[in-house]
């Protein structure tokens, strides 16, 4: 009797588990079937969903329920605390499996090539996200001593980082926030968080729902400069063809025209500001220099030569 197709998957995050699900539903699952072993470096599965999603996003973390259903299949086995290639080599995987799938994810930030990025007080988002999600590979404490913090980038990770910094620790108590993170955030001194985007509102990569959630906190005042609401022909085309981009732009427009309220923590969303240098003194971050940009007609931007510190 022919044996099942044997497949090894390295990485038990969403991609690895969805790959297993796809195999179970494919022609390979027909007789004699498929047998899948998933190897995970961490003691627990779910990767990005466990260690990359902010604790105050239970809706997204709910995806774990669907991932559990795949792992519960009798054709699937999970082996935790197995570090490739230290604990198991590619040659060994080839010896025992018909195919190997690597789904090890993005484990580090992409380097930002501007002067001063190496200064004390300049951090990659991946490290900070890992800290507030309780990743076992990172320290249990984080230096939250700055009263003003700059977040570079206008995607959902930037929103998560900015929101965690701007909320009070007690707002996160109903979530799965680790105890050490709650203690750390209680000592957080940040009262202003500034998010910087190189291009304009139509090019922001926020999800509409995540953007609107910023304004739900009673402690966060979201502020958008009316001068940053600008569109060219390329931007208008993007809004017409992309419903999400249009919803994001409308939300930002509404925030730009309203009066500034009295919530204690201010979260500024800056557009058309390209980070050019992180400023330091005695080896520590003391400021940020940005170059003002302008739209070029296509939705892209060019520098104006006007700098702000």
Per residue in 173-205, pLDDT tens? 999 899 999 999 999 999 999 999 999 999 999
Q: What angle in degrees, to the nearest 10, is found between the helix axes of 233-241 and 243-257?
A: 120
Mean pLDDT of all residues in 125-129: 94
pLDDT at 157 > cutoff 70: yes
Q: How far is CA 27 from CA 19, 99, 196, in A?
A: 14, 15, 48
* Exposed e or buried b per residue across 24-54, where buried means at least 16 C-beta atoms within 10 angstroms of its C-beta: beeebbeeeebbbbbbbbbeebbbbbbbbbb
Q: What residue spans define the domains of the chain?
A: 5-102, 125-308
The top-level CATH class assigned to 125-308 is alpha beta
With cut-offs at 50, 70 and 90, classify the pLDDT of residue 52.
confident
Collapsing DSSP states into helix, strand and coil, what is residue 25? helix
Q: How many CB atoms lie within 10 A of CB 228?
A: 17
Cis peptide bond upstream of 32, omega within 30: yes
Phi and psi torsions of 99, nearest 5°: -155, 150
Regarding the domain delimited by 5-102, which CATH topology (the fold level of the hierarchy) does it fall under?
Answer: Rossmann fold (3.40.50)
Q: Which residues contact 168 (CB under 8 A, 6 or more apart)?
A: 185, 219, 265
Q: Which residue is listed with tokens 């910087």?
A: 196
Dmax of the chain from CA atoms?
74
Give the tens place of pLDDT for each residue, 73-86: 999 999 999 999 99
What integer pLDDT is reported at residue 3 of this predicted model? 87
How far is CA 275 from its chain centroid?
Answer: 19
Q: How far is CA 232 from CA 203, 257, 268, 300, 301, in A?
A: 11, 20, 23, 9, 10
- Retrieve residue 284's tokens: 């520590």
What integer pLDDT is reported at residue 30 of this predicted model? 74
Which of 31-45, 102-116, 145-159, 169-183 is the least confident region?
102-116
With cut-offs at 50, 70 and 90, classify the pLDDT of residue 72.
very high
What integer pLDDT is reported at residue 301 of this predicted model? 98
Q: Which residues contact 26 (CB under 8 A, 6 or more apart)?
A: 34
Q: What is the value of pTM for the model shown?
A: 0.89
With cut-offs at 50, 70 and 90, classify the pLDDT of residue 1.
low
Mean pLDDT of all residues in 254-278: 97
Give the tens place of pLDDT for each residue, 209-237: 999 999 999 999 999 999 999 999 999 99
What integer pLDDT is reported at residue 7 of this predicted model? 97
Q: What percent of the chain has pLDDT over 90?
A: 87
């Amino acid at each position: 009797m022919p044996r099942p197709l044997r497949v090894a998957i390295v990485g038990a995050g969403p991609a690895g588990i969805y790959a297993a699900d796809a195999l179970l539903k494919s022609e390979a699952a027909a007789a004699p079937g498929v047998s899948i072993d998933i190897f995970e470096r961490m003691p627990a599965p779910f990767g990005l969903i466990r260690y990359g999603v902010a604790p105050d996003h239970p809706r997204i973390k709910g995806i774990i329920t669907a991932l559990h259903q795949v792992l519960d299949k009798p054709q699937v086995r999970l082996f935790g605390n197995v570090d490739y290639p230290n604990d198991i080599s590619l040659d060994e995987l080839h010896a025992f499996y018909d195919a190997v799938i690597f789904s090890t994810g993005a484990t580090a930030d992409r380097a930002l090539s501007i002067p001063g990025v190496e200064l004390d007080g300049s951090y990659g988002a991946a490290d900070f996200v890992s800290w507030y999600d309780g990743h076992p590979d990172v320290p249990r404490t984080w230096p939250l001593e700055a009263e003003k913090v700059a977040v570079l980038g206008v995607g959902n990770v930037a929103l998560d980082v900015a929101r965690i910094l701007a909320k009070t620790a007690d707002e996160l108590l109903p979530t799965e926030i680790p105890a050490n993170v709650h203690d750390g955030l209680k000592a957080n001194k940040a009262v202003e968080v500034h998010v910087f985007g190189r291009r304009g509102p139509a090019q922001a990569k926020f999800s509409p729902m995540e953007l609107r959630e910023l304004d739900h906190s009673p402690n966060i005042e979201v502020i958008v400069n009316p001068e940053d609401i600008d569109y060219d022909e390329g931007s208008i085309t993007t809004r017409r063809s992309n419903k999400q981009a249009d919803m994001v732009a409308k939300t930002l427009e509404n925030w730009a025209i309203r009066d500034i309220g009295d919530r204690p923590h201010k979260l500024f969303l800056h557009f058309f500001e390209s980070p050019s240098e992180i400023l330091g003194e005695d080896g520590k971050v003391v400021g940020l220099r940005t170059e003002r940009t302008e739209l070029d007609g296509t939705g892209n931007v060019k520098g104006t030569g006007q700098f702000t510190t």
